[in-house]
Amino acid sequence: MKEDKKQKMMKFLITALVVLSLFMQLSLSFAVDSGEEYELELMHYEPFPVKSGQEFEVWFKIKNLMQDEVKPVIVQAVDEFPFQVIGDNQVEIDELRPRDYYTFKFRFKVNDDATQGENKLYLKIKYGNDAFVKKGFDVLITSQSPSVDIKDIETQPEEIVPGKEFKLKVYLSNSDKSAIRNLKVSLDLDNLPFSPLKSSNSKTFDLLEANEQVAAEFNLIADASTSPGVYKIPLTLQYEDVLGNTFTSTQLIGVLLNDVLDNNIEPIIGNANLLLNKESDIDIKFVNKGLSDVKSLIVELLDSPDYDIVGSNKEYIGSIKGDDYDSADFTIVPKKSGKITLKIKYQYLNSMNDFFEKETTLIVTSNDNINDSKSSSVGKIILAIVTIAVVVFAYFKWKKR
């Protein structure tokens, strides 16, 4: 009886072991069917993050999760936007033992038009006798450097003059493929003859989409005593890309400040003692009424039926500072008495090297002759003496009474 019990116990144990073995084989078969044959991992890539237009290398690791060796294992790198394979695009592993792993790398280039953020990089894997399977991995892409370009600059009015207010418009464009955020546009007006008027010297835009254009408008006034010329204003742009990276750039924009007057020079008669049919000197003053200097001033006295020109009819004055004057001297012989019309032509360059040429006339008076002039002066003296004598005589006569 005891031996029968032992035999039955042995049969039970053997049966249990067979069932357990069958169950383990069934479990293993289920794991294989579920795809848990291997583990493919992206270890790292350099540089990190990668930038559009840049080449980079990616390291992978594949591990055999099965109890048996697998052969062969083939991994292919896939050309798919925004990644292009550089060099070898396939790795073949002759055999991969159980629980063993293998590391390898591929080289890629990022397309110039890649979108910032996470982008999928794909591999194809053939594991043993299985068909190729495509798997994707996230790769972080940033732009080379998001660029905000100055497209145009405009002032209203077009001609800016000292002491007057004006609008400065700066047209900006996002030339990147992705949006930028928190764009701040600032003017550095320190040590410049411009001041903000009813506004600040900075403007902010929350969002600027790819290829979008905006206009930053500033209300400014030019100091009244400012000399005309070209003034360079530093303009600073600060903004963020979609990943939160901050970028700052400073550029110079030019603003042309004109003079208050279009024609700075005004000729006027200085000293002039003209005698009929006599050589007479005449002094013509050229007054610079503007704020800026003029240069290369040349004056020419033109022919006229009212007079003959003696000697040179042209004189070079050169430069005249703002709010100052200089003179040109000529000698003429008046042909008539009374009003004489002088014809003059002058030319010069302003502070911006703009060329001006003007013709105008000035009126002067000629006396009949030198004797008339002297007689007139003597007559006035005699009349004054007679008047004084009469007054003195009358006074003494009154005193004797």
pLDDT tens profile 231-270: 999 999 999 887 788 889 899 999 988 876 667 788 999 8
- Confidence band of 322 (pLDDT split at 50, 70, 90): confident
Q: Is 336 a residue whose pLDDT tops 70?
A: yes
pLDDT reported for residue 333? 92
Same domain, 280 and 323: yes
pLDDT reported for residue 5? 55
In a domain, 232, yes or no: yes
- Confidence band of 374 (pLDDT split at 50, 70, 90): very low
In a domain, 326, yes or no: yes
The strand pairing partners of 295, in sequence order, are 349
Q: Ranked by mean pLDDT, which of 164-168, 195-199, 256-260 comes out on top? A: 164-168
Residue 129 structure tokens: 């006798």
Q: Structurally, how many domains does the chain consist of?
A: 3
Contacts 24+ apart (CB under 8 A), 324-327: 324/287, 324/288, 325/285, 325/286, 325/287, 325/288, 326/285, 326/286, 326/297, 327/270, 327/283, 327/284, 327/285, 327/286
Q: Is 11 a residue whose pLDDT tops 70?
A: no
Secondary structure class of 90 (helix, strand, coil): strand
pLDDT reported for residue 316? 94
CB 179 within 8 A of CB 242: yes
- Confidence band of 10 (pLDDT split at 50, 70, 90): low
pLDDT reported for residue 108? 97
pLDDT reported for residue 28? 32
Q: Is 53 a residue whose pLDDT tops 50?
A: yes
- Write down the pTM of the prediction: 0.55
Q: Name which of 132-136, 270-274, 314-318 the model is least confident about.
A: 270-274
CATH number for the domain that contains residue 104? 2.60.40.10
Same domain, 194 and 280: no
The stretch 142-165 carries a mean pLDDT of: 85
- Look at residues 116, 142, 168 and tell me which one is the last residue of a structural domain: 142
- Look at residues 142, 172, 191 and tell me which one is the last residue of a structural domain: 142
Rounded Cα–Cα distance for residues 173 and 195 (Å):
26
Secondary structure class of 21 (helix, strand, coil): helix
Q: Is 340 a residue whose pLDDT tops 70?
A: yes
pLDDT reported for residue 401? 57
Domain coverage including residue 236: 148-257
Q: Name which of 34-43, 92-101, 230-239, 263-272 the model is least confident about.
A: 34-43
pLDDT reported for residue 371? 43
Same domain, 133 and 42: yes
In a domain, 394, yes or no: no
> What single-letter amino acid sits at 244?
G
- Look at residues 257, 292, 307 and tell me which one is the last residue of a structural domain: 257
Same domain, 298 and 366: yes
Rounded Cα–Cα distance for residues 166 and 156 (Å):
6
